Each structure stands twice: as structure tokens, then as C-alpha cells.
């Protein structure tokens, strides 16, 4: 009952009003991108045909040096603004008890930056189109988000464990997790701002879903130093929406460009993270947690059962364990990140003991 009252009181805080306003803004943003799409088709020539997963479709056929100078400048201004506010907030808020009844300077400044640079990026797309994708490969954008999700596993390990509630051992002990807690804002904000400017604000289902996902992540960044930032249900939504976005991207690539239908790998893979890790920090009763686990495997079986009793996906994909590829990548990067932080903590403690 105490936790329920605590969660309910969040609704009365200024941070909740900012959260709600930015969610509405995110929806309006996606609708606006969709409605303005005909202008892009009029003002810019057809794009190059997609040639595979290493290619990126949404960029102009001919690179313009002036366009890319403008795009990199806008990205740099956005990145620098965010980093400066984060550094300022760390100096002024870290270790202090903050009044949740008052709107923090950090919160409204970050909200202003979010709205302002979102509108600027939309204008930039319609004037020059190209994002950073014209100059850098697609894996840099995808990889930055994967690294972010993996580091989050390390950070949350003390609370929910890494696999079915089992902690990650000494390698992911609280001291290691705290190392990322102190620096994650700078790392995550780079991943978000870089990915945000990598893509033009075009209206394909993949990009629309992606920009909504980016909006959720930016909102989470705005909510730092508030109780809502740590709300387990909000964090769950932000973490698991990637399963929706990745599936939409894979399906769109399959339908539009005839690429390998890998949607099940992304859908089942990211949902596997839900049952392996995410739900074990929610305080759910055991019967409910295991019901969710069972529901996941029933759903997975349905996907591979032949028609007309199931979806009929080729069983060979299941035998290749495609549903485990995403978790394996995330866990592997998480352990690598934890190992690096572990070494850093070891030498830091050794130096301080002298």
C-alpha cells in the first residue's frame, strides 16, 4: 500500500506534468513527420535502392558538402548542449536531497532542448534531407543503442539480476554498477543524440517508430533527478519498446526491400530479455512472473507451428536458436562493459589505498 501511495503521489509532481506534455509532443511529432512526407517526395529525388543490411536507404544519391556541414553543426550543437546541462546538473544536484514538488532547472532546460532540436531536425530534413548517415555507416547508429541497452543491464544488476533474478556475480557487483551510474548520462546521451541525427525525419514505418522510441528515451533523459525517472513501470515501457521498434523495422525491410524476414529474431529476442531479466525487478509474485514466462514460450511455439494451427514460420529458424541471438549479444556486451569497469575500479581502489 505504501508503494502504491508513493507511485500515486508522482502524478502530483511537476515532473509528471512535463512527462505527460512531452509524451503528447512525441505523438504530435510522429504525426507531423507523417503528414509532411509528401513535401519530401516533391523536393527531393528518389533515393538509391536498398542493397542489403549494410546499406542505408534514407540518404540522397549525391552527397552535398554544405548539407553535411550544416547537419554535423546541428548535431554538435545538440550534443554539446546536452552534455553541458548534464555536467552542470551533476555538479549542482549530485548527492543532494531534491524537492520533488519543485520543477528543477535541469528538467525544464532539457525539455526545452528536446523540443527545440526536434523541431530543428524536422526543418533540417525538409531543407537538406540528409542525416549523419550520409557520412557514417549504419552499424554506428545501431551499435550505440545496443551498447546503451547492455550497460543498462549492468546498472540494474544489483536490483533485478542479470538472468531470472540471478546476480552477475563479482564482475557486476554494486561498485561496478555505480561506476556506470555516475557516467551513464554522458554515454547514453551520446548514443541518443547521435542516433537522432543519424536519420532524416522521413515517414517510413521504421523511421516513425524509431523517432517515437527516441522520444521516449529523450523523455527519460529529461526526467533524470526525478522519482519518475526511476519508476519501474515507466522504465519497463522504455526498455521493452525496442522490441516493437525492431520488429517494425525488420517487417518493413522485408516487405519494402525483400530482405531476409528476420522479424521473429528481433521480436522474440527482445521479448526474451523481458522474461530473462526485465520482469525480475518489478516485485511481481512468483506465479505471475512464471505465467509471463510460460506465455512467452507458448507464443514462440505458435510462431513456428505449421499453418493452420500456428503462424507457420520455418522451423529451421527455431533450430538456429534465432530467439537467443539478441540476448546473447546484449549479455556479451554487458559482460565486456562490466569487465572494463571492473578493471577500472580495481586500479582506482588500488591507487586510492596507497
Residues 59 and 197 sit within 8 Å (Cβ to Cβ): no
CA distance 50 to 136: 16
Cα→Cα distances 295→234, 271, 288, 302, 352, Å: 22, 11, 10, 11, 50
**If you count DSSP H runs as helices and E runs as strands, how many of each does the chain have, helices first?**
13, 0
* Cis preceding linkage at 349, omega within 30: no
CA distance 95 to 88: 14
In a domain, 236, yes or no: yes
DSSP annotation of 162: S
Cα→Cα distances 318→262, 297, 304, 325, Å: 12, 12, 7, 11
In a domain, 159, yes or no: yes
Helix or strand holding residue 172 (H, E):
none
CA distance 354 to 342: 19
Closest CA to 216 of 229, 204, 226: 229
pLDDT tens-place string over residues 332-353: 999 999 999 989 888 888 787 7
Closest CA to 156 of 177, 141, 182: 177
Q: Is 129 left (phi over 0), alpha (psi -120 to 50) or beta?
A: left
In a domain, 55, yes or no: no
Coil, strand or helix: which one is 186?
Answer: helix
In a domain, 56, yes or no: no
**Residue-range definition of the domain harbouring residue 348:** 2-50+61-352
Strands (E), the chain: none
Closest CA to 196 of 83, 140, 118: 118
Residues 185 and 221 sit within 8 Å (Cβ to Cβ): yes
Which is it for the CA torsion 93, 99, 100, 105, positive or negative?
A: negative
DSSP-based helix, strand, coil % in the chain, nearest 5: 75, 0, 25
What was the pLDDT predicted at 2? 40
The grid coordinates of residue 24 equal 503528447
What was the pLDDT predicted at 354? 64
The grid coordinates of residue 114 equal 528536446
Q: With a cut of 50, which residues of the chain have pLDDT below it?
A: 1-5, 7-8
Cα→Cα distances 218→77, 103, 114, 187, 192, Å: 16, 17, 7, 13, 7
Query: Residue 166 pairs with which residues in a beta bridge?
Result: 163
CA distance 183 to 216: 20
Count of structural domains, the chain: 1
Amino acid at each position: 500500500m505504501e508503494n502504491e501511495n508513493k507511485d500515486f503521489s508522482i502524478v502530483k509532481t511537476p515532473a509528471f506534468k512535463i512527462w505527460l506534455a512531452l509524451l503528447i509532443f512525441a505523438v504530435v511529432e510522429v504525426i507531423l513527420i507523417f503528414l509532411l512526407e509528401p513535401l519530401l517526395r516533391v523536393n527531393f529525388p528518389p533515393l538509391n535502392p536498398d542493397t542489403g543490411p549494410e546499406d542505408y536507404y534514407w540518404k540522397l544519391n549525391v552527397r552535398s558538402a554544405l548539407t553535411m556541414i550544416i547537419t554535423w553543426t546541428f548535431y554538435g550543437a545538440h550534443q554539446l548542449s546536452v552534455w553541458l546541462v548534464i555536467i552542470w546538473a551533476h555538479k549542482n544536484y549530485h548527492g543532494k536531497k531534491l524537492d520533488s514538488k519543485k520543477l528543477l532547472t535541469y528538467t525544464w532546460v532539457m525539455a526545452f532542448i528536446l523540443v527545440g532540436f526536434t523541431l530543428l531536425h524536422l526543418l533540417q530534413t525538409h531543407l537538406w534531407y540528409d542525416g549523419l548517415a550520409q557520412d557514417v555507416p549504419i552499424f554506428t547508429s545501431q551499435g550505440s543503442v545496443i551498447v546503451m541497452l547492455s550497460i543498462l543491464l549492468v546498472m540494474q544488476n544489483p536490483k533485478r539480476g542479470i538472468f531470472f533474478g540471478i546476480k552477475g556475480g563479482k564482475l557486476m557487483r554494486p561498485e561496478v554498477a555505480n561506476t556506470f551510474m555516475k557516467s551513464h548520462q554522458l554515454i547514453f546521451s551520446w548514443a541518443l543524440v547521435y542516433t537522432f541525427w543519424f536519420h532524416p525525419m522521413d515517414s517510413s514505418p521504421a523511421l516513425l517508430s524509431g523517432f517515437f522510441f527516441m522520444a521516449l528515451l529523450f523523455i527519460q533523459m529529461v526526467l533524470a533527478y526525478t522519482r519518475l525517472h526511476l519508476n519501474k513501470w515507466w522504465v519497463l515501457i522504455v526498455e521493452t519498446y525496442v522490441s516493437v521498434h525492431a520488429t517494425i523495422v525488420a517487417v518493413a525491410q522485408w516487405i519494402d526491400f525483400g530482405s531476409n524476414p528476420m522479424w521473429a529474431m528481433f521480436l522474440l529476442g527482445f521479448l526474451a530479455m523481458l522474461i530473462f531479466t526485465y520482469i525480475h525487478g518489478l516485485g511481481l509474485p512468483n506465479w505471475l512472473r512464471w505465467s509471463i514466462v510460460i506465455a512467452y514460450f507458448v507464443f514462440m511455439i505458435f510462431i513456428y507451428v505449421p499453418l493452420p494451427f500456428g503462424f507457420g514460420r520455418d522451423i529451421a529458424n527455431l533450430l538456429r536458436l534465432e530467439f537467443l541471438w539478441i540476448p546473447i549479444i546484449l549479455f556479451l556486451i554487458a559482460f565486456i562493459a562490466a569487465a572494463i569497469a571492473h578493471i577500472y575500479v580495481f586500479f582506482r581502489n588500488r591507487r586510492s589505498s596507497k
